[in-house]
Structure 1
Amino acid sequence: MISGDEREHRRIAARGVTLPPYSLGAAPLGNLYRPMEEQQAIAVIDQAVQAGFTHIDTAPHYGFGLSESRLGRALPAHPEISVSTKVGRLLVPIDADERAPVRFGFANAPDLKPVFDYSYDGLMRSFEASCERLGIERVAIVFAHDLGEMTHAEQNESYWREFCEGGMRALAELKAAGRVGAIGLGVNEVAVCERALSALDLDVFLLAGRYTLLEQAPLDSLLPQCAQRGVSLIAASPFNSGILAGAEGAGPAYYNYEPAPEAIVQKVRRIQSVCERYRVPVAAAALQFPAAHPQVVSVLAGFSRAEEVRSARRWIDTPIPPSLWDELKEHGLLHPGAPCPT
């Protein structure tokens, strides 16, 4: 496990923003895939604070404002919570014929839909609307959401130019005015982070699913560049959309928000086999592994029930012998240069 001194060191993010070692991702609070009662959402937040997850990351996209609104209603009871949110999509009304039980992965959401807008005006409008839903005037971090070729394909270059020429100026002004503590990208791909490092002055990346027990490509280029530039990383989606959570159910295991391909399923089974020999839940290894890298200031995971948060706290506190990490490396299941918890 990470020692107390190491955990304290990891809490110091670039440019003066501090984060706990583990943070709560609030996409489930926006009815991700299935409806959630308001009381259930508040219980998740309450339990997260008790478990030490005192930073919560949300976005307008999560339930089309629902996640931010629910978090906003919980914040008065928890002044210790720090918040990050995202910009890059504006919420606009839908027509009656666009209504559906699930839209963009969110169930029973308000009659709004997200429209990409990375312009100066679009980011400012998005930020002010988020603050209104959250009921606060300042947030710890703002991320430009889902830039990159994976999301935008043939429109990627035009959105990138729009952000660099307008949206980035909005983020810099918000930071200079003290409305945000740090600025960065919230994305799912390494390439756009590396591109941003060479072109933009950012503080932190929220990178989902790319630095996990299952894949460590950022070790080869991105993380060394981050260390050189003094840019922090929040390692999000440590379970890779669920496949590393360790639950065996009747349905398919999910990876990258879709049913996992067979090669991924087989790799996870090999990792799980090693963990079982040490009587360590694979979910415990999945949560603890990313936190060991010195550039990672927090590991961000989402939960839909208070019981899941309690389980996560137990996994974080589970002792893991160094020999487990050694064996994963020996079997080629972990990058040979990966820092591991001690």
Structure 2
Amino acid sequence: MTTSPLEKRRIGQTALEVTTLGLGAASLAGIFTEVPDAQGRATLQHALDKGLTYVDTAPQYGLGRSEHLTGDVLRRAANRPVISTKVGRLLKPVDPARQDKGLWVDPLPFNQAYDYSYDGIMRSHEDSLQRLGLDRVDILYVHDIGTATHGVEGNRPYWQQLERGGYRALQELKASGAVSAIGLGVNEWQVLMDAFALGDWDVFLLAGRYTLLEQTSLDPFLTTCVKRGASVVVGGPFNSGILVGGDKFNYAKAPEAVVQKVRAIEAVCRDFGVPLPAAALRFPLTHPAVCNVLPGPRSPEELDGILDWWNVDIPDALWSALAEKGLLAEGTPVPGGRVIPAR
């Protein structure tokens, strides 16, 4: 299966199309380690120069820093890419000495306040346009709603906010043409099934749950996306770094069972002369619901490395070999229209 960065896929049933490789702008805001602003801007510009047509950002990333950097570059772009940002967090000015920086090394001087209500989403959208310095974004994701972020009890009032007004705000923004697509951006697939019960969505950004290492979202989530005509952007294709030589999985040190599975996958890739990161990047696109894979390089050089992996020729037999060793979940679609059968 040969895929180029310039191949495009449609977002749900909208008129939007994106290259199958995009740029996630979270890392550029300095998560775990600092990224100088000039380096962040250079990375964004390099992505555009290489033909990538989808960039994702969010208020949370660097507590406003990512949106500022993204806007600085995209305002001057000859051909503006498809842009997504997120709602659900409002940024409140704070004394830096009292700031909760989270995982961000040098964020802007704000704290975040969760708000998934009608007014909160409308304000979040407007605030993002101001930080970006742009007249519009194309996609709005509801960010990090669900039990993974808020816990079971903590999530209930936030879900009620979305159910009683937030979803209506998103529908109005789309109906007015202010945005072209709406969805959720989360790290857990279960809440996306709850979202389908609320109504229709165009696209979901799901991080880490449909990767070469983990296919827990296959059914019922991805099968429902196909039935409902919704697309999926796969964030975190390297599972926080474990699939690219790091030791983190889901933002924490990887447990031994995960390390052993990664070694087994890597051994199969080695047999076919395929770098593990190359297989990790391309694997999600074997599913018909997936429209884009969204890594987060920190520099132009890292992006070039990703592009080198992206352009590796991956034989279909690699996926079959992984399946035969029980390293892909049953029901996983692979090239040629085949599906991994039950074992």
TM value normalised by structure 2: 0.93
Encode CA deviations 1:228-286: one digit per residue, 9 max, x unaligned.
Answer: 111111111100111111x36xxxx0111111111111110110111111111000000
Matched, 1:284 2:278: yes
Residue in structure 2 matched with residue 298 of structure 1 by the alignment: 292
Q: Corresponding residue for 1:207?
A: 206
Residue 340 of structure 1: how far off its partner (Å) = 2.6
Q: What is the CA–CA distance in structure 1 between the aligned matches of 2:190 and 2:99, rounded to whole Å?
A: 35
Where 2:145 maps in the other structure, the secondary structure is coil
Q: Which residue of 1 aligns with 2:52?
A: 53
Note if 1:315 corresponds to 2:309: yes
Correspondence 1:70-219 to 2 at 5 A? 70-78=69-77, 79-99=79-99, 103-153=101-151, 154-219=153-218
Further displaced range: 303-312 or 43-52: 43-52
Q: What residue ranges of structure 1 are gaps of 5+ in the alignment?
A: none
Secondary structure at the counterpart of residue 63 of structure 2? coil
Amino-acid identity (%):
46
* Whole-Å separation in 2 of the counterparts to 1:337 and 1:176: 36
Contact 1:24 1:57 in 2 (8 A): yes
User: C-alpha separation between the residues in 2 aligned to 1:52 and 1:335?
Assistant: 33
In structure 1, how many angstroms separate the alpha carbons of the residues matched to 2:140 and 2:55?
A: 12
Query: Counterpart amino acid of 1:339?
Result: P
Q: Contact conserved, 1:11 with 1:298, CA < 8 A, in 2?
A: no
- Is the CA contact (8 Å cut-off) linking 2:11 and 2:230 kept in structure 1? no
Check the 8 A contact 1:291/1:341 in 2, yes or no.
Answer: no
**Paired residues, number:** 333
The answer as to whether partners of 2:59 and 2:66 remain within 8 angstroms in 1 is: yes
How far the C-alpha of 1:217 sits from its partner, in A, is 1.6
- CA 1:57 to 1:255, structure 2 compared with 1: closer, same or farther past 3 Å? same
Large movers: runs of 4+ above 4 Å: none
Residue 237 of structure 1 contacts residue 301 of structure 1 at CA under 8 Å; is this kept in 2?
yes
1:99 to partner: Cα distance: 4.1
Q: 1:42-101 deviations in whole A, cap 9, x for unaligned? A: 11112212333221000000001100001111013323322100000000122354247x
Instruction: Give the CA RMSD over aligned residues.
Output: 1.6
- Give the superposition deviation at 1:13: 3.3
Q: Distance in 2 between matches of 1:41 and 1:237?
A: 18
Q: Distance in 1 between matches of 2:96 and 2:36?
A: 24
Counterparts of 2:130 and 2:234 in 1: how far apart (Å)?
27
Instruction: Name stretches of at least 5 consecutive residues in structure 2 with no aligned partner.
Output: 337-343
Deviation at 1:7, TM superposition (A): 4.2
Task: Write the letter of the residue equivalent to 1:231.
Answer: A
